[in-house]
């Protein structure tokens, strides 16, 4: 799908629940672009990656992304921060992202592999005009079992040192089945905060806390941070946003979309101790039986994943009595300051 085709229900949700709540200008701090021909990757290279994302989009060109913003947010200006797709050829996705970022004049992240040297990163990031690094859990040593991947296995100390040296931004998608509340994740996040104070770390997806069980009491630890930032990309759990803001305030959390996967028509539920389920219209995405995170429903009042995310943030804003200025900071100004953007 090029762009996004709004259903009547989408239009109703946007007009009645989002249009007046959203500011006129927003920054999407987490958007992916890549082309289909950058595939395929091996099964090993997709280690620790969910499969349902491929049901939504096989690729997303920069033109597709910008058209999607126009289609989904009529009357608004949306400016992205770009990154490639870590489950494709990294040289190809990084080259494409670099040129796309120049074309539309926006910041972009460089997707990394654990084996890249500091010298390689300096050459590519500085030479390519990237704002920092986008490590991903599948790009770690192949012998590490999926459930045992640590942050330092794909965001290595060598990479942290060079990022700290140059003051780069690092967009981190954490691994492990306990997600944000995992003791090892929390220990390494706190260590990064303390040992590398010059880099700017963004914990994506609020640490993949998609259920209250994923949260645990993680923010009892993370409230002691002073530099770490968070985005609520592809997260529809208002509680995660609420606890994050209670812990670190309104200046250290940002909006991101995770486009194109949030084009998916769905709503999210959790069960069995926090396992998330994407509930999708029956037949829309073919046979979904092979993915335990997917479930079909006959409900008709289903909008897209991105609107569900923003509706969750709206609930968060209401619960915390956020001001209009707070909402504008979270949806635009915090990212503008971090990335040095003037929109």
Q: How far is CA 256 from CA 32, 68, 87, 236, in A?
A: 10, 14, 19, 12
Sheet holding 275-281: strands in order across? 267-271, 275-281, 294-297
- DSSP track, 89-155: -HHHHHHHHHHHHHHHT--BEEE--TT--HHHHIIIIIHHT--EEE--TTSS-TTS-GGG--HHHHS
What distance in Å separates the CA atoms of residue 116 and residue 127, rounded to the nearest whole number? 15
* 151 touches 172 (CB < 8 A): yes
Cis (ω within 30 of 0) for the bond into 56? no
Q: Which of 151, 155, 116, 109 is nearest to 130 (CA)?
A: 109
Which residues touch 266 (CB under 8 Å, ≥6 apart)?
278, 279, 280, 302, 304, 305, 308
Which residues touch 326 (CB under 8 Å, ≥6 apart)?
250, 317
**Which residue ranges in the chain fall short of pLDDT 70?**
40-50
Q: How far apart are the first and last CA of the chain?
A: 28
Give the sign of the dihedral formed by CA 272, CA 273, CA 276, CA 280.
positive
**pLDDT on residue 50:** 63
Domain at 8-266+307-339, CATH class: alpha beta
**pLDDT on residue 47:** 46
- 277 burial type by CB count under 10 A (0-12 exposed, 13-18 middle, 19+ buried): middle
28 — phi, psi (to 5°)?
-90, 105
**Would you say how long the chain is, in residues?**
343
Sheet holding 109-111: strands in order across? 109-111, 132-134, 169-172, 200-203, 229-231, 253-254
Q: Which of 59, 121, 112, 109 is nearest to 90 (CA)?
A: 112
Whole-prediction pTM: 0.95
* 30 touches 83 (CB < 8 A): yes
Residue ranges covered by each domain of the chain: 8-266+307-339
For residue 60, the cross-strand partners are 34
What distance in Å separates the CA atoms of residue 26 and residue 162, rounded to the nearest whole number? 30
Q: How many CB atoms lie within 10 A of CB 147?
A: 10
* 243 touches 219 (CB < 8 A): yes
What distance in Å separates the CA atoms of residue 139 and residue 152, rounded to the nearest whole number? 11
* 296 touches 282 (CB < 8 A): yes
pLDDT in tens, 56-71: 888 999 999 999 999 9
Q: How far is CA 287 from CA 93, 270, 284, 312, 322, in A?
A: 29, 21, 9, 28, 42
Kindly report the average pLDDT of the chain as a whole number: 95
pLDDT in tens, 301-334: 999 999 999 999 999 999 999 999 999 999 999 9
């Amino acid at each position: 799908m090029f762009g996004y085709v709004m259903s009547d229900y989408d239009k109703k949700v946007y007009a009645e629940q989002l249009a007046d709540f959203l500011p006129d200008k927003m920054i999407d701090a987490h958007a992916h672009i890549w082309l289909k021909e950058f595939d395929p990757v091996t099964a090993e290279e997709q280690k620790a990656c969910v499969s349902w994302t491929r049901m939504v989009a096989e690729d997303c060109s920069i033109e597709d992304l910008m058209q999607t913003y126009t289609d989904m947010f009529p009357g608004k200006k949306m400016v992205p921060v770009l990154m490639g797709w870590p489950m494709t050829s990294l040289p190809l996705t990084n080259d494409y992202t670099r040129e796309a970022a120049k074309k539309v004049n926006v910041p972009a992240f460089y997707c990394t592999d654990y084996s890249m040297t500091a010298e390689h990163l300096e050459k590519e990031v500085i030479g390519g005009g990237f704002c920092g690094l986008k490590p991903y859990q599948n790009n770690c040593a192949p012998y590490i079992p999926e459930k045992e991947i640590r942050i330092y296995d794909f965001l290595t100390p060598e990479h942290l040192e060079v990022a700290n040296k140059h003051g780069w931004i690092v967009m981190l998608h954490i691994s492990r089945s306990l997600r944000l509340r995992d003791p090892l994740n929390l220990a390494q996040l706190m260590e990064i905060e303390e040992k590398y104070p010059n880099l700017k770390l963004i914990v994506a997806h609020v640490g993949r806390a998609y259920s209250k069980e994923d949260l645990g009491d993680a923010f009892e630890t993370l409230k002691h941070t002073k530099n770490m930032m968070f985005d609520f990309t592809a997260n529809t759990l208002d509680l995660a946003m609420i606890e994050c803001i209670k812990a670190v305030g309104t200046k250290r959390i940002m909006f991101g979309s995770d486009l194109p996967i949030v084009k998916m028509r769905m709503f999210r539920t959790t069960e069995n101790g926090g396992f998330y389920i994407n509930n999708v219209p029956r037949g829309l995405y073919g046979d979904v039986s092979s993915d335990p995170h997917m479930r079909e429903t006959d409900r008709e009042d289903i909008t897209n994943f991105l609107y569900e995310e923003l509706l969750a943030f709206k609930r968060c804003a209401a619960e915390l009595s956020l001001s209009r200025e707070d909402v504008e900071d979270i949806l635009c100004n915090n990212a503008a300051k971090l990335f040095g953007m003037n929109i």
